Structure 1
Amino acid sequence: MSLTTSEVSGKSPSTLPLLYSLQNCPYAMRARLAILLAKQTVQIRAVTMKEKPTEMLLLSPKATVPVLVIENTEATADDDVQQLTIVDESLDIMLWALNQNDPDNLLYSDDPKALPEMLKIIQENDDEFKPSLEKYKRAKRFHGDDLEECRVECEPFVQALEQRLAKHEFFMGATPSLLDYALLPFIRQFSRVNKPVFTSGNYTHLQHWLANHLQGRLFQRSMVPYPLWLDEREVCLFGE
């Protein structure tokens, strides 16, 4: 989990956290989902990767989204000091949100083994499945003759999820968890690479799981577009 801090003087016009987000980035999508699930409210600044706001780059030199900026103002003898906490990893933003409020028990707090298991699978998604998924997407986009080979490279991870759903409705049990929402944007991408293959008989449980999420109001709310920050510099609120 990567947290960095900086200090600046003065007061902020708003105490709400600030989220830099990209509409279709799967990492930004998982952050937005968690903020909604935690019933939090943030300022949202929609960006594009071709034109990144200078403000975002100064806060997070890694220059990718999502970036969450949390302001903590402390009074001093001379003035207020604004402590900024920068959270620039999507999973950390999810955990931040759900540690503020987890009304649906997505962290499975009653099971001490659940969160470590979820984090392990999420890391596997991010470190292993995502690179394979990118190869699969490129093969389809550029009509590569290795399309099927790239799909097969994704199969161990995807089939492990399929087997989990054969046992219960969600990845961790009978109710949704952090794991479901952290993986949702990536399974959505996988399903869209070659739709006829995904709708074949190999992914029956994943098809049902994905359809339920994509047709739900939560996902639709997470995908509502906002005006680009650099176009209007309009203050937009996202969440509850």
Structure 2
Amino acid sequence: MTDKRIFWNFRRCPYAMRARLAILTAGVTVEIREILLRDKPAEFLTTSPSGTVPCLRTADTVYDESLDIMVWALQQRDPNGLMDMPEDGWALIKANDGPFKAALDHTKYITRYPDLDLDTEREKASAHLRALDRQLAGQHFLYGDTMTIADLAILPFIRQFAHIDRTWFDAQSWTNLRAYLDRFLASDLFLRVMDKRKPWAVGDEPVFFG
């Protein structure tokens, strides 16, 4: 039942973004509840074991990791075959979520890490992106001309890194990667998942997404 699928969301979070991308692509419907990270509702905190977004509660399960939500959505329905991906795609997602995201955060929030060097951390992230640029040569997506779950899982983080300093990002030699990102940002899929919503409050009428 739709009313048993409650999805807690923060619009700008790349983890929540990729979960929304999968939900929308799958065509499943959830009740979406936007929150403010500085003022998390008690209902959210009693649902999410980690207190982080995204979080999905279904009739019998709580999914507290964005990749788990993506897989859940695409197991319900996968009209575009996004789960049909080489095994290497899962390793690529793991690299994105691990070393690349760490270097991204160190670059974006360098003042929080006084013992780290900005240029060193940015180069760690850039090495990962240069590898993606090589992989994208001659094709629109990471595994050919058809999108997979890897594309949906990784693109929000490329976007986040690019937005740290878009002028610097655009000056780099990764032309395939830049075109890949720009196609994503101009896509109807991205525009639809970025709709703004007011923060949820007790008593609000349900808002559905998917």
Tell me whether the two structures share a fold, i.e. TM-score over 0.5. Answer: yes
**Pick from 12, 25, 34: which aligns with 1:46?**
34
| Long gaps (5+) in structure 2 | none
Corresponding residue number in structure 2 for 1:205:
176
Alignment of 1:106 onto 2:82: yes
| Long gaps (5+) in structure 1 | 1-11, 72-83
Alignment of 1:173 onto 2:144: yes
Question: Map of 1:201-240 to 2, 5 A cutoff?
Answer: 201-230=172-201, 233-239=204-210
Question: Map of 1:176-191 to 2, 5 A cutoff?
Answer: 176-191=147-162
Q: Aligned Cα RMSD in Å?
A: 2.2
Give a deviation string over 1:115-160, Cα, whole Å, max 9, x none.
x321111111111110100111123899x99433321121221111
Alignment of 1:70 onto 2:41: no
Give a deviation string over 1:38-95, Cα, whole Å, max 9, x none.
0111100000111112122112221001010111xxxxxxxxxxxx210111001001
Q: Distance in 2 between matches of 1:102 and 1:197?
A: 37
Alignment of 1:17 onto 2:5: yes
Deviation for aligned residue 1:194:
1.6
Change (3 A) 1:146 1:91: same
Q: Distance in 1 between matches of 2:179 and 2:99?
A: 24
Residue identity matched to 1:235: P
Q: Distance in 2 between matches of 1:24 and 1:231?
A: 22
Counting matched residue pairs gives 209
Deviation for aligned residue 1:106:
0.9
Corresponding residue number in structure 2 for 1:136:
107
Percent of aligned positions that are identical: 39
Q: Distance in 1 between matches of 2:150 and 2:127?
A: 17
Question: Map of 1:57-96 to 2, 5 A cutoff?
Answer: 57-71=45-59, 84-96=60-72
TM value normalised by structure 1: 0.81
If you compute each CA radius of gyration, which structure gives the higher value, 1 or 2? 1
Q: Distance in 2 between matches of 1:88 and 1:151?
A: 29
